[in-house]
Each structure stands twice: as C-alpha cells, then as structure tokens.
Amino acid sequence: MTDPIKASDTPAIESGAADAPTEIDEAEQRMLSARARAYRRARTVSVIGTFVILAFGCFYIAQSLILPVILAFLLALVFSPVVRTLARYRIPQSLTALAIVLTLTASVLAGIYGLSEPVSKWIDDAPKIERQLRLRLADLGGPLEKLRDVQKQVEEATNQNDQADTQKVVVQEPTMISQAARGAPEIVAGIALMLVLLLFILSSGDMVYEKMVRALPTFGDRRKGLRIAHDIEREVSRYLLTISAINIGLGIIIGSLLAIVGMPNPVLWGIVAAILNFVPLLGAVVGIGIVGMVALVSMPTTTAALLPPAIYLACTALEGQFLTPALVGNRLRINSVAIILAIAFWGWIWGFIGVLVAVPLLIVMSVFAKHVEGLGGLREMLGPNNNNGN
C-alpha cells in the first residue's frame, strides 16, 4: 500500500528538479547577453576611437587643403545672412558674394602692403633689438651673464688646444625671411582656394544646406539637420561678427593710446592686438608680453617702458571683464577649461590658424551636442559650470 505522504511529496521533488535547470539556463543567458553587450560596446568604442585618431591624423597631414576649406565655410556662415538679407531686396546673390569676396581680397592685400614695411623693419633690426633687450635686462640677468662668461672662457681655452688646421663646419639656420619666402606660394594658394570656395558657397545660397539635408534618410532627420544647420549659422555668425567688432574697436583704442605715449609703429600693435584678441584668455597675455618687450627696447627709460604694457593690460582687462561678457556671454556658454584645451589642441594641429578657429569649432560642436541625443556627455563637458544655480 502506497504511503500518501510520500506520494504527495514526489511531484514536488520532481517539479523542483525540473525548475532548477531552467533557472540555471536563464542565468547563463543573462550572463551571455551581458557579455555580448559589453563586447558590442567595446567594439563600438574601438571603432569610434580609431576613426577619431585617423581623422585627426588626416587633419594634420592635409592641413594645407583642409584649413582653407574650413575658413571658407566659417566665413560663409558669417556672410550668408548678409547675402540672404540683400536677396530679399532683389539683389542677386552672386553679385553680393562677388562684392564680399572682392572686399576681403582688397582687405588682405591692403593689410599685407601696409604691414610689410614695419614687419620687415622689425625683422631686420632683430639683432639690434636683442642686444638692447639684454642691456635693459642686465640687472635681472647678472648671474646668467656670469655663467655665460665662464662658458665663453672654457670654450676659448678648449679652442686654443685644437690644431691650427682644424676646419669648423657651421650650420646656418634659415632666417625668418627665407622661411616666409619658402612658404609664401602655399599661403597664397590657400588664400586663393579659400576665396574661390567662399564665392561659390555664397553664390549658391542654401544649396549646400539642401544637399546635406537630402542625404539624411528620414523626414524627421532632415528637419533636425536643417535646424542644426541654421542654428550653427546663427550662433557662429553672431559670435564672429560681435567679436570682430569688439576686436577692431580694441585695436583702434590700443593703437591710439600707444601712439600718444610714443610707442613706435602704433598701427602695427593695434592690428596685432585686434588679431590676438580672437584667442580668448591667452591672446591678451601674449600681446602684453610682446608689447612689453618692444617697449623695453624702444622707450627711453624703464619707467616709460612700463606704460605701453600697462595700457594694453588695462584695455584688455576692461574688454574681457565687462564688454565681451555683456555682448557674448549669453551666447557663448562654454566653460573656460574646454576653451583652453581646444586652443591648445587645434594650435598643436594647425598652428596659429588653429588657435583662431578653435572657439568657432567649439561652438559648432556645442550646437551638435545640443540637438543630438547621443551626445549628452559632450554637451555636459562643453557646458558651463552650473554649481552656482544658474
């Protein structure tokens, strides 16, 4: 006779034994699924990282081609609203584009012609300027001069022990003028490519935007792409136009004040101040250092030589602390660490031109990060510090 208790326990034991492999299989599937997701994520990161490294390598190697193209598109972002506005008054876009390109060409030629004489004079007087700067800094460089004298005495004693018929080979480094002359054809070709490309972009109107938008797969992507393109145009054009107006005014003020205190070539230093001020944070420091060194060798006394860099510092401080934040601060909401890193990186890749285009490229990246959902991390990195509750 069968025990009812044992009989009732048997199905429970069998069902528990049947459920155990199922739970183990589900755990293994979850583990395999997690491993697959991790593998896909690692593969995606490696592919993106490889693409970024190769892209930056291409930027560095092909800078003679890429830089004129980027400058042309940045200038097109600045002047496209002007072309579009005049087109509403039945002025042909091609005519407006031609007038803009001719004006830019005349400005470049006038700047080269006007600055060629003072710049060449400073280059020719470079050895004399170096000697004068050493004399002015003699009090601060006393120990260094003593060390140089000892080194010179050791070299003279060593040369006396050499044989009389020993021949010395002196490797003469190329001068700045020779380097500039060697790179002039490439610079001229880059400027010509930039101006021609700018002419065609401005003449085509919104054709560039339409071509890029039509390449997107869905209607929603096309709407988003068009919105991103117009936001980039608006933000970059507002920033560059505002900063250009501020820097031109700053250059005029600094040049006028330096002329009043007797600084030589005040027009040159006004233009230098306007150009360097396109570089946030670092441009003013470099300008103060250059003007300070030139003042040391140009002004009659050390006290008078302190006046030009003090004027430069006061003007840039007022501009950087009050004027630019009031006009640009609400639009350029990018933290200063990102700006400095961008300036250092693009300056390393493209030199001085890279320093100038670093902030506009940051603005383009911030607009993309604001509209694309997958770029939330980049948006957080570029955004301002919100610890103050703003």
Please state, in angstroms and as integers, the Cα–Cα distance from residue 314 to each residue in 115, 216, 285, 376, following that order.
25, 50, 12, 39
Q: What is the model's pTM?
A: 0.69
Query: Which pLDDT belongs to residue 293?
Result: 84
> Is residue 27 scored above 80 in pLDDT?
no
Which residue, 356, 290, 272, is CA-closest to 67? 356
**Sequence-separated (6 or more) residues with CB below 8 Å from residue 64:** 186, 189, 190
Burial class (CB in 10 A: 0-12, 13-18, 19+), 160: exposed
User: CB–CB of 323/253 below 8 Å?
Assistant: no
Query: Which pLDDT belongs to residue 182?
Result: 62
Query: Which pLDDT belongs to residue 5?
Result: 45
Query: Which pLDDT belongs to residue 364?
Result: 85
Phi-psi region of 280 (alpha: psi -120 to 50; beta: other; left: phi over 0): beta
Percent pLDDT > 70 in the chain is 73
Please state, in angstroms and as integers, the Cα–Cα distance from residue 254 to each residue in 24, 277, 319, following that order.
78, 12, 11
Distance CA 108, CA 295 (A): 28
Strand runs labelled E in 54-125: none
Query: Which pLDDT belongs to residue 366?
Result: 84
Distance from the Cα of residue 137 to its chain's centroid: 34
- The three-class DSSP label of residue 86 is helix
Mean pLDDT along residues 70-93: 87
The position carrying tokens 């350029």 is: 332
**pLDDT tens column, 142-182:** 555 555 565 565 556 555 554 444 454 444 445 544 555 56
Please give the span between the terminal C-alpha atoms of the chain, in angstroms, as a whole number: 83
Q: Which of 122-126, 290-294, 299-303, 346-350 is least confident?
A: 122-126
Tokens of 345: 């990186």
Rg (CA), the chain: 32
Query: Which pLDDT belongs to residue 388?
Result: 46
Query: Which pLDDT belongs to residue 160?
Result: 55
- The three-class DSSP label of residue 142 is helix
**What's the pLDDT band for 323 if we cut at 50, 70, 90?**
confident
> Is residue 16 scored above 60 in pLDDT?
no
Handedness of CA 329, 334, 337, 343 (dihedral sign): negative
Percent pLDDT > 90 in the chain is 7
Distance CA 335, CA 111 (A): 34
The position carrying tokens 């800094």 is: 137
Q: Compute the mean pLDDT over every residue in the chain, rounded to the nearest whole number.
A: 76
How many Cβ atoms sit within 10 Å of the Cβ of residue 257? 19
**pLDDT tens column, 300-318:** 777 888 899 999 999 999 9
Q: Which residue has the higher pLDDT, 335 or 8?
A: 335
> What is the phi/psi pair of residue 171, to 5°?
-95, 115
**pLDDT tens column, 230-268:** 888 888 888 888 888 999 999 999 999 999 988 888 888
> Is residue 282 scored above 70 in pLDDT?
yes
> Is residue 12 scored above 70 in pLDDT?
no
Torsion angle (degrees, nearest 10) of CA 26, 28, 29, 32: 160
Q: Which residue has the higher pLDDT, 110 or 128?
A: 110
Phi-psi region of 262 (alpha: psi -120 to 50; beta: other; left: phi over 0): left
Query: Which pLDDT belongs to residue 32?
Result: 74
Distance CA 160, CA 301 (A): 42
